[in-house]
Amino acid sequence: MTELAPEPQDLSNVPLTPALPQDGSAAGPPDDLRDQLTVFHSPENFTVKHPLMNKWTLWFTKPPSGGVKSDNQWADSLKEVVSFDSVEEFWGIYNNITKTSELALKSDYHLFKAGIRPEWEDPSNKNGGKWAYQFKDKKTVPIDELWLHTMLAAIGETLEKENDREVMGVVVNVRKGLYRIGLWTRSMGTATEGRTGKEVRESLLEIGRRFKEVLRLGEREQVEFSGHSESAHAGSSRAKPKFVV
């Protein structure tokens, strides 16, 4: 019998901490909550797990030290943190890592599907691109909330239509004058195996619109899409966006 893929999870409804009695007593949770306990409440009695549709890996880019640049600087600074494939594991990790707002300048978090490195050269990324938006007023931007919602949208598979398989990962950059959140895709708008260029472009534009909603941007604010190869050729200057929504 073919094993069915797990259904997408509504992550906002998964309980993290069992409800306590209203009278403040120390009695355990009611019977209907006992079955929802996670490994973080009782490792010995852990039986429930809400699987994700994909396994994900969290990466971290630490700020460069010494100010000396080298060809291996990116590889040296990029660190694989942990992989997970369930809702419970995600929350356990998220609740025990440094918040984005508390990271040092030139730090990055990358959340990518397992087996994909957050690098342009990775086989899954080399023909792709990314949607991105820069938040320039750092003092008023709720970056922790926005990054959390971006991660939840990614692992909850709500950033694209079923079977598009475009979303590779999401990233947040901490820079001196801004925060930047990006969404990496497998394609950059040209025809791929089994899909016409028009179909790919429509998929990417829909992803851009959903990404914009997750970031809570207004109508006049735009997210921009550029191909990785175009960004690489642009060097220190910004590549001209291929799409905007």
Q: How do residues 86-114 score in pLDDT, each as one tens digit?
A: 999 999 999 999 999 999 999 999 999 99
Domain assignment present for 25: no
Judged by DSSP in three states, 33 sits in helix
Number of domains in the chain: 1
Residue 207, classified by CB atoms within 10 Å of its CB into exposed (0-12), middle (13-18) or buried (19+), is: buried
User: Can you tell me the distance from the alpha carbon of 59 to that of 104, in angstroms, rounded to the nearest whole number?
Assistant: 15
Domain assignment present for 14: no
Q: How do residues 204-214 score in pLDDT, each as one tens digit?
A: 999 999 999 99
* Residue 51 CA from chain centroid, whole number: 17
Domain assignment present for 166: yes
User: Can you tell me the distance from the alpha carbon of 29 to that of 35, in angstroms, rounded to the nearest whole number?
Assistant: 10
Domain assignment present for 42: no
* pTM above threshold 0.85: no
User: Picking from 17-21, 106-110, 150-154, 234-238, which range would have the lowest pLDDT averaged per residue?
Assistant: 17-21
Domain assignment present for 240: yes
For residue 65, what is the DSSP state? S
Give pLDDT, residue 240.
Answer: 85
Q: How do residues 113-125 score in pLDDT, each as one tens digit?
A: 999 999 999 999 9
Domain assignment present for 135: yes
Q: How many CB atoms lie within 10 A of CB 64?
A: 14
- Given a cut of 80, whether residue 186 has pLDDT beyond it is yes
Q: With b meaning 16 or more CB within 10 Å and e meaning fewer, what string describes 138-167?
A: eeeeebeebbebbbbbbbbbbbbeeebebb
Q: 192: domain range?
A: 54-244
Tell me which residue has tokens 């790919």: 200
Domain assignment present for 190: yes
Q: How many CB atoms lie within 10 A of CB 169?
A: 25
Mean pLDDT of 184-192: 92
Confidence of residue 78 (pLDDT cuts 50, 70, 90): very high
Give the CATH number for residue 59.
3.30.760.10
Q: What does the chain come to in residues?
A: 245
Confidence of residue 193 (pLDDT cuts 50, 70, 90): confident
Q: H/E element holding 103?
A: none
CB 197, CB 213: distance < 8 Å: no
Residue type, position 165, single letter: R
